[in-house]
């Protein structure tokens, strides 16, 4: 296989993994804060959304960086 192809596959898989980890981190923080403050899934929903947005932002930054290096 071509080295450039493998490099791009690695980058793409790391972006997906980054999104998943951001969401899982949001789930963990949200559940713990819900337990601490006694809410019923309110903070879980908020932190899952924040984790998703953080993951999407990181994907955006990586794509922007990749496009700038190609130009």
- Residue 43 domain-assigned? yes
For residue 49, what pLDDT is reported?
Answer: 98
- Residue 47 domain-assigned? yes
Strands (E), the chain: none
For residue 46, what pLDDT is reported?
Answer: 98
Give yes or no for residue 71 having a pLDDT over 60: no
pTM of the model: 0.84
Nearest-angstrom CA–CA distance, 49 and 42: 11
Nearest-angstrom CA–CA distance, 9 and 6: 5
For residue 7, what pLDDT is reported?
Answer: 85
pLDDT, tens digit (0-9, with 9 covering 90-100), for 21-70: 999 999 999 999 999 999 999 999 999 999 999 999 999 999 898 888 76
- Residue 32 domain-assigned? yes
- Residue 1 domain-assigned? no
- Count how many domains the chain has: 1
Nearest-angstrom CA–CA distance, 62 and 10: 13
For residue 8, what pLDDT is reported?
Answer: 83
Domain range holding 50?
Answer: 18-69
- Residue 5 domain-assigned? no
């Amino acid at each position: 296989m071509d080295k450039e192809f493998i490099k791009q596959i690695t980058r793409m898989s790391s972006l997906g993994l980054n999104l998943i980890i951001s969401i899982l981190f949001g789930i963990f923080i949200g559940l713990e804060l819900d337990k601490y403050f006694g809410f019923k899934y309110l903070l879980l929903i908020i932190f899952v959304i924040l984790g998703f947005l953080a993951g999407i932002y990181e994907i955006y930054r990586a794509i922007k960086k990749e496009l700038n290096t190609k130009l």
